[in-house]
Structure 1
């Protein structure tokens, strides 16, 4: 599967976006985290595909996996 996430300093200041769009990965993951369904996200962003949404989730999971997480959450 081709990489659907692009990081380009000329697009949205280098924020990870779905390739060929200006839609940040964080926006997609945030909407899903707020309870939007995949179909609702696709309705809000009709240029996206289901594969784009899955790519955003894979990218976010890999990003979290690479970082050291705090042992305790702080408020």
Structure 2
């Protein structure tokens, strides 16, 4: 899968996946969405982001979640 808007640079945010080299991480975007912010809310808070940046952050997060197996413990 190709993610043109997601960058990794050890000098930017410690190498975390960022949006187009900016200091906005995929985790920050997903955290905002997870607390109930809409795409429009995020675009208003971060006017330098584009709608496609947020959509790609969502696709990237979904892709990452599919790549890991988690062992669940029985209680």
Q: TM-score range by the shorter chain?
A: 0.7 to 0.9
Measured in 2, the distance between the counterparts of 1:21 and 1:39 equals: 19
Measured in 2, the distance between the counterparts of 1:64 and 1:29 equals: 13
Q: Could you list the runs of 5+ residues in structure 1 that have no partner in the other structure?
A: none
SS class of match (1:47): coil
In the other structure, the counterpart of 2:21 is: 20
Q: Could you list the runs of 5+ residues in structure 2 that have no partner in the other structure?
A: none
Size of the alignment, in residue pairs?
72
In the other structure, the counterpart of 1:29 is: 30
Q: TM-score, normalised by structure 2?
A: 0.87
Measured in 1, the distance between the counterparts of 2:70 and 2:44 equals: 33
Per-residue CA deviations over 1:4-48 (Å, capped at 9, x if unaligned) read: 000111111101100131100000011001100100000111110
SS class of match (2:27): helix
Aligned CA RMSD, in angstroms, stands at 1.5
Measured in 2, the distance between the counterparts of 1:30 and 1:43 equals: 16
